Chains A and B, each alone.
Chain A
């Protein structure tokens, strides 16, 4: 049996691996901390002239007031508690912080996490570093759906925004189902899915262009604004819907972490390891697309987070999806919140659509990745 030297080598490898696992957990914990800090900063920033203290006071006051109301409601009037403090924050400020900034901040987190997670999954199942949540045409389909609703007479007013979002969601899901159907017929290979996806992307874009050509100027303008990807439209209710869709999709994808790992070695190897490569690819694609559709239907298409976040995280913690999926999601959340916070402040009081800023920040980063990591990626 192995002598002392070999045993030492084995325990050294074990130590290295455990350190590697530790590094991954540290990265996840660090990103969580970063998110907490970013949220803390983002709440205090904005075009309204609210001090840091007032912003936090508003959050604490509103939270405790809600809690107080909830507790009292449960007591059914038998006991009336009053524990919510009154910090004398002007109610206008409280409204800005709690009903505009907070939902926006959390929407950034949820959408960023959803897009990064969907991007990680798409890259794994398509075995392609260029894949993103939008590779199979989800964003173009959502844009067409939104444009259809807007240009055919519905406008972005309070009551109809749900119709626009619903339409965007429906078309995004329709796109995913079409790719699913074609892939089932022609074999669920990455090539089939990418080619079918690109084809549909052109189809949706073409139809959107047609709508823009025949539509009235102001409606076309509104449709265009929708496509920019903007978190300004975030509300608590929309946040709830997007979160619910994400909560429905994420468990399946995280459970499939091992299958995604194995798919990276090719379909043949995956099958020899007991994984039905085609089926995993198809169902994961559906869940990732649903996740993406839920994220973009309210806020429009926000590019690059879903492409870049998985790459950055993979470089730091490696390709094991058990760690990569949660880490990518957290990193995507942090990245989008950082971008959105920048979008709200760089040209304040003008608020830029975050979709524009992610592209500005994403393109140089992506070029850097291509130039620096080329050898390892292609």
Chain B
């Protein structure tokens, strides 16, 4: 059992998300095998690994969309499987890879949906205020009355993160938050996540393909391969040429740029 406890020293009193020996299979196809991870408030955890390694499955097991066959997910010591969907929704926000919005809806209304776990049928002035705060924090007030379906990919991603933040979660889970974004939007989104972890003391767990972004913005990296943790720890310890070669089958040069590993993939092995 490999446990990711690299990064900072764990201090008592900080909110902790523990994943213990989680095993999951879709029918007879195994997806996750005995995965254990620990991550604390203010930390950003990057989950990397090739397609089909189990990154998305792991995120879905964390917030109970999928129920692991074995193992447990503990949020501050409490087993998530014992919580109701609503309880989980009040504590964990989730931005899936795609949100198939078909009908025109204003950005404000999309973000307001994040209040669903907290509100009754009528939404209170407080709910509206929370939406305003989140829009302001993400600097997307100008989009408030725009149609969500007409926004660019980068803007949509920010709105979806805003929607998750409106839940007032302790844990923020994101599935490929930077896919389909241009370089500038990638950086903006990653910086935003970093700020949220640092200032709002959120646990941020993201599945991410871009190793360089992961190296720069994550405190810890978990490298998954075929449903198992292949390596875990600080970015510099995990993102080595050997690991990349064995997990991705790619020859890569890893150098150091401003104290972070910089990965340049060369060719498939």
User: Which positions in A face B, CB cutoff 8 Å?
Assistant: 2, 6, 9-10, 12-14, 16-17, 20, 123-124, 127-129, 255, 257-259, 261-262, 264-266, 268-269, 271-276, 314-315, 318-320, 322, 375-377
Check B92 against A320 for contact (C-beta < 8 Å): no
Counting from the closest, the 10 A-B pairs by CB-CB distance are A274-B89, A272-B94, A319-B105, A274-B86, A268-B96, A274-B85, A274-B117, A273-B116, A13-B144, A319-B103
Query: Which one, A272, A276, A377, contacts B102 given CB within 8 A?
Result: A377
Instruction: For B104, give its contact among A10, A128, A265, A319 (CB under 8 Å).
Output: A319
Residues in chain A near residue B136, CB distance under 8 A: 2, 6, 9-10
Q: Do the beta carbons of A274 and B116 come within 8 Å of each other? A: yes
Supposing A6-B136, A10-B136, A272-B96 touch, asked if A265 and B110 sit within 8 A by C-beta, the answer is yes
Is there contact, CB below 8 Å, between B85 and A318?
no
A266 in contact with B96 (CB, 8 Å): yes
Is the beta-carbon distance between A266 and B109 smaller than 8 angstroms?
A: no
Q: Chain A nearest CB: distance from B133 CB in Å?
A: 8
B125: min CB distance to chain A, Å: 9
Question: Could you say which of A6, A124, A266 contacts B100, with CB atoms under 8 Å apart?
Answer: A266
Distance between Cα atoms of A346 and B150 in the complex (Å): 41
| Interchain nearest-CB distance for A198 vs B (Å) | 19
Q: In the complex, which residues of chain B have a beta carbon less than 8 angstroms from the beta carbon of A9? A: 136, 141
* Interface membership of B147, Cβ < 8 A: yes
Measured CA separation A123–B105 after assembly (Å): 14
Expressed in whole angstroms, the Cα–Cα distance for A275 and B85 within the complex equals 7
Cβ-defined partner of B145 (8 Å) among A20, A123, A266, A319 = A20
Distance of A25 from chain B, by nearest CB (Å) = 13
Within 8 Å by CB of B65, from A10, A258, A272, lies A272
Chain B 9-47 interface 0/1 with A at a Cβ cutoff of 8 Å (1 = within): 000000000000000000000000000000000000000
Cα–Cα distance between A377 and B92 once the two chains are bound (Å): 31
Most buried by A among B145, B147, B167: B145
Given pairs A12-B141, A265-B163, A274-B116, 18 additional interface contacts (CB within 8 A): A14-B132, A17-B128, A20-B145, A124-B103, A128-B102, A129-B103, A258-B119, A268-B65, A269-B99, A271-B85, A272-B173, A273-B114, A274-B84, A274-B90, A319-B105, A319-B109, A320-B112, A322-B121
* Complex Cα spacing A314 to B113, Å: 17
Between A20, A123, A265, A315, the greatest number of chain B beta carbons within 10 A of the residue's beta carbon is seen for: A265
Which residue among A20, A124, A258, A276 has the maximum number of chain B CB atoms within 10 Å of its CB? A258
Tell me whether B193 is interfacial, beta carbon within 8 Å: no
Contact between A262 and B105, CB atoms less than 8 A apart = no
Contact yes or no, A273 B89, CB < 8 A = yes
Query: What residues on A are CB-neighbors of B101 within 8 Å?
Result: 264-266
CB-contact partner of A127 in B93, B100, B109, B133, under 8 A: B100
A376 touching B104, Cβ below 8 Å: yes
* Per-residue contact bits, chain B 74-93, to A (CB 8 Å; 1 contact, 0 not): 00000000001111111011
Task: Please state if A266 and B103 are interface contacts (CB–CB under 8 Å).
Answer: no
> Which A residue sits closest to B125, measured CB to CB?
A14
Compute how far the CA of A274 lies from the CA of B169 in the bound complex, rounded to whole angstroms. 13
Q: With A and B bound together, what is the CA distance between A272 and B85 in angstroms?
A: 8
Q: From the candidates B86, B89, B92, B99, name the one contacting A266 in the complex (CB within 8 A).
A: B99
User: B217: CB under 8 A from chain A?
Assistant: no
